[in-house]
Structure 1
Amino acid sequence: MPKQKAIPSAETDPRTFKQPPKKARLTRGEKSQQTYRNLMDAAAKIVGETGYAATSIAKVTEAAGVAHGTFYNYFKDRQALFDVLLPYVGEQMTDQITEDLADAGNGIEREIARFRAYCDYLKSTPGFYRVLYEAEVFAPAAHEAHIQRLSDGYHRALKRAMDAGHLRRMSDDELAATVAILLGARAYVAMQHKNTGKVPESAVQAYADLMRHGLFL
């Protein structure tokens, strides 16, 4: 009995089979940007785990998967890396918080959601606390720039709430002081729970009650 000829399937028939689309090659600029992000992400992870003092160029390049000499295509020295590290991770933090606030509503509920989003970010990125607070010593200019950017952004957010009628009217000086108080609350709550990397729900509720009802009777 003659052997039957196999019928090609859609997967094997050269007339119908389509090669998967090739991934577009990265441009030189895109490769450079990716390498920069790899170095920054590696530095953030190492500093978050061991601190600035223990972070070497060799450790960063090894974690980033690049040659040691590649580092100097992006940074003059280790200090140059430290001087941009906190602004880099700080922007990631604010971007994540902004994304979490997409459906947060307005007024006091938005403020409480902002605090909760910050606590959630600390839980998912526990190394951020060390990157932030050690920067005051190891990268003071970066620390000052980060705090200023946070303060300016918070000031604009509360000004919008004020203009929308969700926040009582106050002078610019009083608003600046309020921003400092709220940022201080976030900082010290984070400090209290830095070893666990998790801010408990009770802390969020305490913040919410303070926002809704004030402190004194």
Structure 2
Amino acid sequence: MTFESGNSPTPARPVRPQRLTRAERADALRNKILAAASAVVGQYGYAEASINRITEAAGIAQGTFYLYFESRQALFDVLLPHVGADMLAYIGESVAGAQSFIEVEERGFLAFFAFLRAHPGFFRVLNEAEVAAPTAHATHMELITTHYVRSLERALAAGEITEFAGEELEALAYMFQAARSYLYMRYVKGGNESKELPDWLVQTYMKLVRHGLKQP
């Protein structure tokens, strides 16, 4: 609100919402379809994730679906990397500002489980993709592993890892990822998927990381 001496206050002009460009609208709708597909696959699995179910979840006509994906399989072939990128972004925000690899690993470990609590269907999207969408599964694993190896490389360069050489880091990345997945299956999946991990489990995992990577 603007005031001038001797005059009544001049009301501020209403701020009009900025209109999205055609490309931005298209991108938003594509993301909406992918989000709906993730939810449907998470609930029913790939085999039962029909285009009809996906479009109903997205609130669009089936004809609109085909403007973005030529087939159901074409959607499946990009679904897991799309959702995986969201997970990486979530974990990246959680580890920002960490001062050591150990801190990064602990924060990342907790963030992984927090993401799965918020997106319980992700685990099914991931696991069934190996058969239903192998191209997507391979792309996702390469993306996740590349990020993990880069983190390990920084730790190796900083002297935080002393028990392993550079050529072993990819194997370590797969081991850590496998540990997270199996711990999820044992202590979360099939139970109360909203529960927090027990503190002792986090500490057990971190003892393995802390004492396994560096000489005392």
Instruction: Choose from 121, 130, 134 the match for 1:136.
Output: 130
Correspondence for 1:5:
none
Which residue identity lines up with residue 150 of structure 1 in the other structure? Answer: I
Query: Deviation of residue 111 (structure 1)?
Result: 1.4
What residue number does 1:107 align with?
101
Deviation at 1:121, TM superposition (A): 1.1
Distance 1:104 1:29 in 2: 36
Cα distance in 2, alignment partners of residues 95 and 194 from structure 1: 23
- Partners in 1 of 2:13 and 2:45 — Cα distance? 48
Aligned mates of 2:91, 2:182 — CA distance in 1:
18
Please tell me whether the aligned partners of residues 56 and 78 of structure 1 are also in contact (alpha carbons under 8 angstroms): yes
The amino acid across from 1:194 in the alignment is K
Contact 1:154/1:179 (<8 A) preserved? yes
Structure 2 unmatched ranges of 5 or more: none
Q: Distance in 2 between matches of 1:181 and 1:200?
A: 20
Partner in structure 2 of residue 186 of structure 1 = 180
CA positional deviation for 1:158: 0.3
One-letter code of the match for 1:204?
V
Length-normalised TM-score, structure 1: 0.87
User: What pairs up with 1:38-117 in 2 under 5 angstroms?
Assistant: 38-117=32-111
C-alpha separation in 1, matches of 2:197 and 2:156: 30
**Cα gap change, 1:120/1:64 in structure 2, threshold over 3 Å: closer, same or farther?**
same
Structure 1 counterpart of 2:68, one-letter code: Y
Q: Which runs of 4+ in 1 moved over 4 A?
A: none
Provide the residue aligned with 2:208 in structure 1: 210
2:197 corresponds to which residue? Answer: 200
1:7 aligned residue? none
Q: Which residue of 2 aligns with 1:173?
A: 167
| Unpaired runs of at least 5, structure 1 | 1-9
Matched position secondary structure for 1:191 = helix
Q: Distance in 2 between matches of 1:162 and 1:212?
A: 13
C-alpha distance in 2 between matches for 1:120 and 1:105: 21
Task: Please report how far the alpha carbon of residue 90 of structure 1 lies from its aligned counterpart in structure 2 after TM superposition.
Answer: 0.2
Per the alignment, residue 118 of structure 2 pairs with: 124
- Conservation of the 8 A alpha-carbon contact between 1:129 and 1:190: no
Q: SS of 2:117's equivalent? A: helix
1:48/1:126 contact within 8 Å kept: yes
CA deviation map 1:33-82 (0-9, x unaligned): 01001100111111112211111111111221222101111111100000
Give the share of equivalent positions with the same residue, in percent: 44
